[in-house]
Amino acid sequence: MNVNDRQYRAKVFGLVKEIPRGRVMTYGQIAIILGEGYTARTVGYVMHAAEDGVPWQRVINSQGKISTGRLSIPVNLQQSMLEQEGVVFNEKGKCDLNTYQWWPDGFKEYETEEGTLLF
DNA sequence: AACTTGACGAGGG
DNA sequence: CCCCTCGCCAAGT
């Protein structure tokens, strides 16, 4: 499971491309959906190599905030791109995941004794 | 091979 | 809400 592997990255990008305009997914959420071999950290690692046509701006962290830090892409750029799609952020730079988080068809979150799972 | 560093996340104070 | 600690795992040095 190498993030330099084309297939590995392709699964991430393929899913990100399905996110509708004005909606978001989190790194951890993507990792859960893709399953074995994927973690929030590796998904984030893959994202900094996003290719053309991948709406990378729609992937944010589990707090509903932008997390890019000191890399090539400034936080305010990603946030403004999302705001342009209709996503509203508060003064703390946070958006409401209950409103904007998107799940692919056939997936939804539900709670069990084992923790949060997917259906 | 050891050590550091993240586009992360959950939990505790 | 902010800050810190850990667990995580691949890359870069």
Residue A31: partners with Cβ closer than 8 Å, 6 or more residues away: A38, A39, A40, A42, A43
Q: Per-residue b/e over A12-26, b at no fewer than 16 CB within 10 Å?
A: bbebbeebeeebbbb
Does the nearest atom of strand B lie within 7 Å of A71's Cβ?
A: yes
Summarised one tens digit per residue, pLDDT across range A11-58 is 999 999 999 999 999 999 999 999 988 999 999 999 988 888 999 999
Residue A1 is predicted with a pLDDT of 58
Residue A115 is predicted with a pLDDT of 46
Residues, chain A, total? 119
Residue A50: φ, ψ to 5°? -55, 135
- Would you say residue A103 has pLDDT above 70? yes
Residue A41 is predicted with a pLDDT of 93
Residue A73 is predicted with a pLDDT of 75
CA–C1' A49–C3 (A): 30
Nucleotides of B under 7 A from a protein CB: 6-10
Residue A94 is predicted with a pLDDT of 95
Report the mean per-residue pLDDT for chain A.
Answer: 87
Residue A64 is predicted with a pLDDT of 96
Distance CA A106, CA A28 (A): 18
Residue A109 is predicted with a pLDDT of 60
Could you tell me the pTM of the whole model? 0.89
